[in-house]
Structure 1
Amino acid sequence: MKKICYLLIVLVFIFSCKKKEEAVELALPVKVADLKNETLELTYSGNAEIKPVDEVPYTASSSGTLKIINFKNGDYVQKGQLILAIDDQQTRSSQMSASSEYSIAKVEYDKMRTLYEKRLVTETDYFAAKSRFDSAAANLAATNDSVNRTIIRADVSGVISGLNLKQYQEIRVGDTLFTLVSEDTMELEIGVPANTISMIHIGSAVKVKVSEINKEVEAFVSEVSPAADPVTRQFLIKVRIPNPDRELKKGMYGVASVDLGSTQGLVVPQTSIVIKGISKVIFINDNGVAKQVKVNITNQNDQSAVVEGEGLTTGVQYLIEGQTTIENGEKIRVVQ
């Protein structure tokens, strides 16, 4: 009899253990974290092609033979350096003639002015000489300007681009010569939605990630459009990027993150938020049962969000792994 009782006790114990194991196996494994009141740094991100702030195209304003080419594509030039020179014989001849006429007219004018001051010539003769001198001076200035246009100097410091010319080739007025790209300062433009533009101002700090050089560089907002684009309904902002080492090149791609300040609240990772129909929810641990809580996102950045929801307070456990496959009311067990 004692053996039978002992056997029954063992069977009951084994059966109860099996039930507990089944119950544990039915509970889905999840990872959780405690809700905390934290500071969330806010940013707005956009991407665009990087381009130079100053990009100056040069076209010929004089005709003639290209005599001097001092630089090639990719060369860095300082402001004021001579890049090209065009030999325009007609312009040079006109300048020599104008210079000679000016010299003669000046000698005559100086002489007539001296005589006029002594009242030895008439006022008519004096003003006639002055008129001839003024005309000669204007003509010389015009021819000097024409000669100056045959000499092409750098208006800004930068890199030569698009120079496809050969020495001694003939140049005509309007011909494309080259482009001078100033790489000291670059910029990009991104669109910002209406609900964010009020948080961005000239001078707002920006970080720009450039994958081509594997760097994140400091920048700032230089312009904020006061009106939305009629097509995209976004406000364009310009981000200015100092480039003292000239690592950034035209055509590189940048991802700009604009600093929008910070906010306080219950901060959760974006990955913990699940879309259910038209609602956004998180799951909390309600005594071993997954409970779905609809949340309102009050602020967010790319990684995290500040949320509000019924029953959400500091210390409440919420799911950070397993939430995408769980259903409301399912049993869960917390794992490390």
Structure 2
Amino acid sequence: MQRRQSGLLAVITLLAISGCGNPENSGTQPGPGPLPKVKIAQPLSQEVTEWDEYTGRIEAVDSVDVRARVSGYLEKVNFTAGDRVHKGDLLFLIDPRPFTAQLNYAEAELERAKSRHELAKNDLARAERLFSAKAISEEEHDARSKGLRETVAAVQSAQANVYTAKLNLEFTKVRAPIDGRIGRELITAGNVVSGGGADATLLTFIVSTDPVYVYVDADERSVLKYRRQAQKGGRGNLGDERTPVELAVADEASFPHQGRLDYISPREDAATGTLTLRGVFANPDQLLSPGFFARMRVRGSAPYPAILVPDRAIGTDQAQRFIWVVNQESQVEYRKVELGAHIGQSRVITQGLKPEEWVVIEGIQKLRPGIKVTSERISLAGAMETNKP
């Protein structure tokens, strides 16, 4: 019985295997799958301008540390932290009484010196008459002449002391040296401050706010490009060219601030291979503060006509860049292309594509050369930002 069951199982297994390998027993063959669906568009043809983007920091055109110029008791703080101040505004008052006393003493010494000078002048006049009459010796005459010169020097010295005392009295009123925005007071009223020299007490600081500078470091090739553009335009030196620049701060995606390039370092940093560029920007609304992180871009070319496609339509085959083009028979063609500059989210195609051809924009992952596709035509006009990154 067991042998009979084993034989029956073997027959069933053979019939199953033979049935699976027989095409006639498998029913109708499946047809070809649906054609891949893609979206295609013609490239944009328009005039573009290349921009080179750098990162840097905003700096004040003028920045001053306000320090005491004389020593004394700080009597008054005459501003509110963060205020906008103007050149000449009174900021601090140091007790002027000791310096008033010094000035009074210096003026008194000046009067004494002048009196001695008048006396010495009269003595010399008398000596001149006596010497002419042979009434005094030559030595006496010379002594009175030299005494007059000493009094002249004493008057000049006293005048200098008076001038110094007036300066010191004036320095007790600490005034703003520039227009700008002032920081907080670093020393409050009631403290004693030290003036003059490297150890002078730092009282506060002021920075100018309109306009502002932005400093960035550019590589050697970029600077050479800017200079050649300046030479082609007949404008000579890059700093004299007034090359347009644009600025964006941390919370800005576009570049709304317009300025100009006004300085390029005359020497390259050998350690980094870069040169410092400086852009100047108006800041009437006080939005830009010194020390802010900034993105600055410099115009890298004159406007020129270009063909652009979105970055997502470009594929990479090792070191080669390519796109997929759909012909009139709805077949996909593999097309090698040469790329130019990035313009926003798009790329300039310098070789390998004509404006009237249709490029696959979406669905490039499932394509291979020669296959047919079901395509949906779309327009790129207004769908991608081209002139502003």
1:306 aligns with 2:315: no
Give the deviation of 1:211 after TM superposition: 4.9
Describe the superposition over 1:16-62 as per-residue Cα deviations: whole angstroms up to 9, x where unpaired. xx96xx56x223322221464x3221111223332322121122232
The match for 1:105 among 113, 118, 124 is: 113
Give the deviation of 1:234 after TM superposition: 2.7
1:204 aligns with 2:250: no
Give the deviation of 1:77 after TM superposition: 0.9
The answer to which of 86-95 and 182-191 deviates more is 86-95
Q: Which has the higher strand share?
A: 1
Equivalent AA in structure 1 for residue 163 of structure 2: A
Aligned residues of 1:66 and 1:171 also touching (Cα < 8 A): yes
- Secondary structure of residue in 2 paired with 1:156: coil
Give the deviation of 1:63 after TM superposition: 1.6
Instruction: Find the aligned partners of 1:226 and 1:99 in 2 and give their Cα distance.
Output: 52
Correspondence list, 1:35-74, <5 A: 36=45, 38-74=46-82
Instruction: Find the aligned partners of 2:100 and 2:317 in 1 and give their Cα distance.
Output: 81
Aligned residues of 2:57 and 2:216 also touching (Cα < 8 A): no
The match for 1:234 among 270, 274, 285 is: 274
Aligned residues of 1:33 and 1:320 also touching (Cα < 8 A): no
Equivalent AA in structure 1 for residue 348 of structure 2: V
Partner of 1:290: 332
Instruction: Find the aligned partners of 1:110 and 1:297 in 2 and give their Cα distance.
Output: 92
Give the deviation of 1:99 after TM superposition: 2.0
Describe the superposition over 1:264-313 as per-residue Cα deviations: whole angstroms up to 9, x where unpaired. 34333334333332232222224433333332234443343332334x33
Correspondence list, 1:1-336, <5 A: 22=32, 25-34=34-43, 36=45, 38-87=46-95, 90-109=98-117, 122-173=144-195, 174-200=200-226, 201-202=238-239, 203-212=242-251, 216-260=256-300, 261-286=302-327, 287-310=329-352, 312-323=353-364, 326-336=367-377
Instruction: Find the aligned partners of 1:332 and 1:111 in 2 and give their Cα distance.
Output: 117
Give the deviation of 1:229 after TM superposition: 3.2
Give the deviation of 1:91 after TM superposition: 4.1
Give the deviation of 1:224 after TM superposition: 1.4
- Secondary structure of residue in 1 paired with 2:50: strand
- Secondary structure of residue in 1 paired with 2:210: strand
Instruction: Find the aligned partners of 2:59 and 2:304 in 1 and give their Cα distance.
Output: 33
- Secondary structure of residue in 2 paired with 1:163: coil
Give the deviation of 1:79 after TM superposition: 0.5
The structure-2 alpha-carbon separation of the partners of 1:218 and 1:308, relative to structure 1 and needing over 3 Å to count, comes to closer
- Secondary structure of residue in 2 paired with 1:196: helix
Instruction: Find the aligned partners of 2:294 and 2:336 in 1 and give their Cα distance.
Output: 36
Instruction: Find the aligned partners of 1:116 and 1:331 in 2 and give their Cα distance.
Output: 122
Cα root mean square deviation, aligned = 3.1
The structure-2 alpha-carbon separation of the partners of 1:51 and 1:26, relative to structure 1 and needing over 3 Å to count, comes to same
Q: Which one has the largest radius of gyration?
A: 2
The structure-2 alpha-carbon separation of the partners of 1:35 and 1:151, relative to structure 1 and needing over 3 Å to count, comes to closer
Equivalent AA in structure 2 for residue 257 of structure 1: R
Aligned residues of 2:323 and 2:359 also touching (Cα < 8 A): yes
Describe the superposition over 1:111-132 as per-residue Cα deviations: whole angstroms up to 9, x where unpaired. 7668879967953233122111
Instruction: Find the aligned partners of 1:34 and 1:78 in 2 and give their Cα distance.
Output: 56
Aligned residues of 1:34 and 1:314 also touching (Cα < 8 A): yes
- Secondary structure of residue in 1 paired with 2:209: strand
Mind listing any 5+ residue stretches in structure 1 that lack a counterpart?
1-14
The structure-2 alpha-carbon separation of the partners of 1:136 and 1:321, relative to structure 1 and needing over 3 Å to count, comes to same
Q: What is the count of residue pairs matched by the alignment?
A: 315
The structure-2 alpha-carbon separation of the partners of 1:228 and 1:270, relative to structure 1 and needing over 3 Å to count, comes to farther
% identical aligned pairs: 20
Aligned residues of 2:80 and 2:184 also touching (Cα < 8 A): no
Give the deviation of 1:92 after TM superposition: 4.0
TM-score normalized by the length of structure 2: 0.70
Equivalent AA in structure 2 for residue 184 of structure 1: D
Aligned residues of 1:35 and 1:316 also touching (Cα < 8 A): no
The structure-2 alpha-carbon separation of the partners of 1:263 and 1:140, relative to structure 1 and needing over 3 Å to count, comes to same
The structure-2 alpha-carbon separation of the partners of 1:114 and 1:26, relative to structure 1 and needing over 3 Å to count, comes to farther
- Secondary structure of residue in 1 paired with 2:256: strand
Partner of 2:13: none
The structure-2 alpha-carbon separation of the partners of 1:251 and 1:329, relative to structure 1 and needing over 3 Å to count, comes to farther
Equivalent AA in structure 1 for residue 373 of structure 2: I
